[in-house]
Structure 1
């Protein structure tokens, strides 16, 4: 009986083995005609910076810079990452490139000031003023409008009555 079972199974297994060796054609690859927009890489870098994953942020920023080397937010983000890593020489270089492309950017100017403050606290003193960037535009302050004090709710304090005495643990009522 076993021999007959083996003889019947042998052609079936050979047929299955022959079919398994035939490869399926691979689906055609679709190539993108353009690279993803810089914004996708930039958003990935921002998320990585918020997670304090600066290596990943640098990877995203390098991809963004390869797509558009003139992108000011990307150059600014490079400066932010290098500030976080304590590489103030590199952050200054990227901030300078960003300012060269957009001298009126308030974000880049604010980050440059913050970078100088970080560097000063790390070095123990302030850097020379001639190395600091000059203002890029005049800042106009507007006096704040008065804000009325909010009305606090009136609280009435009630007189509390003393609680009735509790029976001692050994005493039983009743």
Structure 2
């Protein structure tokens, strides 16, 4: 009888361990809105996944087709996937670079509710267009009368930084 009881306990422990180690997997893709060649800029893009009440942020890297996978905590709540960037300059609006994580169709799978997408060139009527007017990372001088004895105004006026993701 003791043998059967220990066998039952071992079976229950193995089942509990298997249940506890069952990972939740986020599987999704990113999209390029202005790419002319399919899958041109989709590889090596970093995507972060943050869940409520979890300190660790998961970071995934996209494959050639733009797909990525990330491990989620055992009981994911209010998770968000965010497009971080890639090997080349990317431009994304706030609504296209963040997406809530939702339950997938299969057990222990999750996906994103809205597509994560980006542009490879600066969109018109955006902040990066305004920065180009001044010249990225350049200073400019305001005309100050030399008799005032001040250094050039570029020493006092901050420069305009290169605009990244608007």
Question: Is the TM-score greater than 0.5?
Answer: no
Q: Which has the higher strand share?
A: 2
Q: TM-score band (shorter)?
A: under 0.3
TM-score under structure 2 normalisation?
0.22
Structure ranking higher on relative contact order (CA contacts 8 Å, 6+ apart): 2
Larger Rg: 1
TM-score normalized with structure 1 length: 0.22
